[in-house]
């Protein structure tokens, strides 16, 4: 393999500084939660012991009469980079494969992804995107190239533009295409978009038709570069801004169906952490946007934030103890402070919140599985990851007015995946189950919820014991998600719903024997959902959260 170590080191520096320089503690999260949702029992939060709190019933109140911002379904977006077994093997097996497929795309994976209603998929990278040349992956003659970022392996280009768009059509998701700013040209990107979207009989449209798709494609999101401050070309904010203006101007979507409605959203590269260089980056881009001319625009600013604790990623994805469980969860809560920090800068230049913050890479990044290719970023996915996913989704939902998109990294076989595959076998991870449980929250309206989170302590780490969000779906039905972070104690919940005369309620929970329980090809249901008993008496809804669990209930 040619460049795996150099490549990883290059990326690692960005994340190392991101993670180390940005040290919002779990207590800052507690403070925020306290400000917004916890009122009376602060004294208890500070002085009660974890074990006394474990006995207490948590009183929780949802105000269904005050719906807030829409929880954009796009916060449940996915990311599929040409990296390791994410695309090849994970999605693409080829039409001649014995693995059941439709035009080369795995049927088992498609049906699993349909069930979680994936709203959009970001492709082809990541770092890969800034070295991607789309013409090498269309038509009958594919060019065989290399993937220098991810192990220096062969990139056959058999999965290209048409295969990606076929795939997302099969699962019913929107396209989030990242164009090559690092090593490509504005012309190359502009021609790609013309090829994809024009309905007029240009040479490129005819080529698209000859390749099997006469109708123009819809492209919902256009990512203009990826981590341009690092693997995307080590650009200064000034240099990137000049590129952004050019790409924003010339890379056009011509699809007639996307001119007035469903316009393509242009996403600029944003921060990768809370360090000074990234606050400057956000400042620079947002300030320029505030004074922008008619000739360029953007609709979103991306943010990348992995949960990694220390770099290079050293934590195991399976076979860890409660210490690493609590350390990872403490670290993941930094997401809240990071969003607050960059939202505050955005608010200065965009008080009307026209520009969305799109967290288009997030999730846990652990040490590669022993024996796996280090450039393939293969890791297992445990009950801890399910809790981590729920905590992050709740953070995004609480910031629904600004965070209108997010893409977990990455969908299949890479980092915090939904799905793991091995030849013809497929297993759904604990994170997949969380995404499935959250489907009712897609495009639902955020509802204020107040409760005493309490605290869970392990060693020198103290975290909020419970976390949760509530929302009302399009039919007016309220939904409540509650996560019990405490791996040792159950929690009794007594919930009241102001504005709803609760008559029936039901719910399901996701838990597992241990914090590091995983699903494997041999034991695929170790971490899986089950119904829970929910009682209603005098309008109060009561249920019990098992230790280390994610629970969703609905009332009618
Ligand atoms: O998701 C893996 C990599 O992490 C992506 O390619 C890059 O954008 C980030 O550094």
122-181 confidence digits (pLDDT tens): 999 999 999 999 999 999 999 999 999 999 999 999 999 999 999 999 999 999 999 999
Ligand 1, atom 8: closest residue by C-alpha? 126
pLDDT given for residue 322 in this prediction: 98
Query: Which whole number is the average pLDDT over 497-512?
Result: 93
The H-or-E segment that residue 547 falls in is: none
Grade residue 486 by pLDDT with cuts at 50, 70 and 90. Answer: very high
> CA-CA distance, 458 to 399, in Å (whole number)?
28
Lining residues, ligand 1, CB within 6 Å? 11, 81, 125-127, 226-227, 231, 361, 409-410, 415
The whole-number average pLDDT for the span 336-354 is: 98
Q: Give the separation between CA 65 and CA 172, rounded to whole angstroms.
A: 33
Please name every residue paired with 428 in a beta bridge, in sequence order, or none if there are none. Answer: 419
The pLDDT of residue 34 is 37
Q: Say what percent of the chain tops pLDDT 70.
A: 90
Determine which residue's CA is closest to atom 2 belonging to ligand 1.
126
pLDDT tens for each residue of 418-445? 999 999 999 999 999 999 999 999 999 9
Which atom of ligand 1 sits closest to the CA of residue 125?
6
Three-state DSSP at 549 gives: strand
Q: 127 CA to middle of ligand 1, Å?
A: 6
Whole-angstrom Cα distance, residue 425 to residue 100? Answer: 11
What is the residue-averaged pLDDT of the chain? 91
Alpha carbon of 380 to those of 11, 518, 529: distances in Å?
21, 7, 18
Query: Is 90 exceeded by the pLDDT of residue 523?
Result: yes
Contacts with 51 (C-beta within 8 Å, 6 or more apart), sequence order: 489
Cα 405 to middle of ligand 1, angstroms: 17
Q: Give, in degrees to the nearest 5, the angle at Cα 169 between 164 and 172.
A: 125
425-428 and 419-422 strand pairing: antiparallel
Read off the pLDDT of each residue in 27-43 and give the average, rounded to a whole number: 36
For residue 230, give the ligand 1 atom closest to its CA. 10
β-partners of residue 106 are 101
Q: For the chain, state the CA radius of gyration.
A: 23
Who wins on pLDDT, 554 or 310? 554
Q: Does the pLDDT value for residue 60 go beyond 80?
A: yes
Please tell me the pTM assigned to this model. Answer: 0.92
Residues annotated as catalytic are 227, 361
Q: Whose CA is nearest to atom 7 of ligand 1?
A: 126
The residue nearest atom 10 of ligand 1, judged by CA position, is 11
Beta strands in 353-417 (DSSP E): 356-364, 403-409
Span 238-251, mean pLDDT? 98
Q: Which of 299, 255, 260 is nearest to 72 (CA)?
A: 299
Contact 70, 119 (CB under 8 A): no
Average pLDDT value for residue range 105-109: 98
* pLDDT per position as a tens digit, 178-192: 999 999 999 999 999
Instruction: Report the C-alpha gap between 403 and 110 in whole angstroms.
Output: 27
On whether the CB atoms of residues 226 and 79 are closer than 8 A, the answer is no
Q: How far apart are CA 2 and CA 272, in angstroms?
A: 27
Predicted confidence band of residue 24 (pLDDT cuts 50, 70, 90): very low
């Amino acid at each position: 393999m040619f460049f795996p170590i150099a490549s990883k080191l290059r990326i690692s520096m960005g994340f190392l500084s991101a993670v180390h320089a940005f040290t919002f503690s779990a207590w800052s999260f507690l403070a925020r939660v306290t400000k917004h949702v916890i009122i009376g029992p602060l004294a208890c939060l500070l002085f009660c012991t974890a074990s006394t709190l474990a006995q207490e019933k948590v009183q929780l109140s949802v105000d269904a009469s005050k719906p807030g911002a829409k929880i954009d379904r796009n916060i449940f977006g996915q990311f599929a980079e040409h990296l390791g077994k994410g695309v090849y093997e994970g999605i693409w097996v080829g039409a001649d494969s014995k693995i059941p497929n439709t035009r080369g795309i795995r049927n088992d994976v498609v049906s699993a992804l349909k069930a979680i209603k994936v709203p959009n998929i970001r492709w082809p990278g990541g770092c890969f995107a800034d070295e991607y040349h789309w013409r090498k992956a269309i038509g009958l003659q594919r060019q065989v190239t290399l993937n220098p970022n991810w192990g220096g392996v062969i990139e056959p280009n058999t999965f290209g533009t048409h295969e990606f768009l076929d795939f997302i059509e099969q699962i019913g998701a929107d396209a989030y295409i990242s164009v090559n700013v690092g090593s490509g040209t504005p012309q190359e990107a502009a021609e790609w978009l013309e090829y994809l979207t024009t309905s007029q009989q240009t040479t490129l449209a005819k080529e698209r038709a000859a390749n099997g798709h006469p109708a123009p494609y819809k492209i919902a999101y256009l990512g203009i570069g990826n981590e341009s401050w690092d693997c995307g070309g080590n650009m200064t904010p000034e240099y990137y801004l000049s590129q952004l203006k050019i790409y924003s101007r010339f890379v056009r979507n011509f699809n007639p169906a996307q001119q007035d409605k469903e316009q393509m959203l242009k996403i600029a590269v944003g921060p990768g952490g809370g360090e000074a260089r990234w606050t400057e980056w956000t400042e620079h881009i947002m300030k320029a946007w505030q004074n922008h001319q008619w000739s360029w625009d953007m609709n979103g600013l991306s943010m990348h934030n992995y949960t990694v604790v220390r770099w290079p990623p050293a934590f195991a994805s399976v076979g860890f103890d409660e210490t690493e469980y609590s350390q990872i969860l403490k670290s993941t809560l930094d997401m809240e402070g990071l969003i607050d920090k960059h939202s505050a800068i955005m608010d200065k230049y965009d008080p009307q919140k026209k520009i969305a913050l799109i967290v288009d890479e997030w999730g846990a990044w652990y040490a590669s599985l022993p024996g796996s290719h280090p450039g393939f970023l293969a890791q297992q996915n445990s009950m801890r990851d399910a809790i981590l996913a729920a905590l992050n989704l709740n953070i995004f939902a609480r910031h629904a007015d600004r965070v209108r998109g997010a893409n977990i990294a990455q969908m299949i076989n890479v980092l915090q995946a939904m799905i793991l595959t091995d030849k013809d076998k497929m297993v759904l991870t604990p994170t997949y189950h969380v995404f499935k449980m959250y489907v009712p929250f897609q495009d639902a309206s955020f509802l204020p919820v107040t409760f005493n989170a309490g605290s869970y302590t392990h060693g020198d780490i103290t975290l909020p014991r419970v976390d949760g969000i509530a929302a009302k779906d399009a039919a007016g039905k309220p939904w409540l998600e509650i996560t019990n972070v405490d791996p040792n104690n159950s929690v009794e919940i007594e919930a009241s719903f102001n504005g709803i005369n609760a008559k029936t309620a039901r719910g399901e929970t996701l838990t597992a024997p241990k914090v590091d329980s995983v699903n494997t090809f041999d034991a695929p249901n170790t971490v899986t959902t089950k119904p829970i008993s929910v009682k209603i008496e005098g309008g109060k809804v009561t249920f019990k959260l098992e230790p280390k669990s994610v629970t969703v209930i609905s009332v009618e």
